[in-house]
C-alpha cells in the first residue's frame, strides 16, 4: 500500500497519551495515527452514505408508519404519547 505524509497539530495532552499508547502497544505513533484516521474516515463515510440513503427514501415518500415509530420507541422504553399534543 502506498502511503503519503500528512501533518497536523494536536493538543499536547493527546500527544502525551499517544506516546504512552505507542510504548504500551509497541507500535509507532505513525501507525496509531494512521489507524485512528482510518477508523474515523470509515465511520464518517458510513454515516454520510446512510444519510444519503435516508434522504433518497424520504424523497421517494418512504417513511415509517406511526405504528412502526411507536413500536420502535416502545422497544427503548419511550412513551411517544407523552411528547407533543397529537398522539396519532
Cell numbers for 66, please give them.
406511526
Distance separating the N- and C-terminal Cα atoms of the chain? 55
Q: Is 8 helix (H, G, I), strand (E, B) or coil?
A: coil
Q: How far apart are CA 57 and CA 53, in angstroms?
A: 6
Tell me the C-alpha distance between 60 and 52, whole Å: 12
Please determine, for residue 35, whether its predicted confidence score (pLDDT) is greater than 50. yes
User: What's the longest Cα–Cα distance across the chain?
Assistant: 58
Report the C-alpha dihedral over residues 29, 32, 34, 39, rounded to 10 degrees. -160
The C-alpha atoms of residue 11 and residue 79 are separated, in whole angstroms, by 43
In this predicted model, what pLDDT tens digit does every residue of 5-15 receive, in sequence order?
999 999 999 99
Whether 85 shows a pLDDT value over 60: the answer reads no
Confidence of residue 31 (pLDDT cuts 50, 70, 90): very high
Amino acid at each position: 500500500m502506498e502511503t503519503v505524509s500528512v501533518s497536523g497539530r494536536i493538543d499536547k495532552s493527546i500527544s502525551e497519551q499517544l506516546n504512552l499508547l505507542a510504548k504500551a502497544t509497541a507500535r509507532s505513533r505513525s501507525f496509531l495515527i494512521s489507524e485512528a484516521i482510518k477508523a474515523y474516515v470509515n465511520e464518517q463515510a458510513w454515516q454520510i452514505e446512510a444519510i444519503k440513503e435516508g434522504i433518497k427514501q424520504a424523497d421517494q415518500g418512504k417513511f415509517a408508519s406511526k405504528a412502526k415509530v411507536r413500536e420502535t420507541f416502545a422497544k427503548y422504553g419511550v412513551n411517544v404519547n407523552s411528547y407533543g399534543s397529537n398522539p396519532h
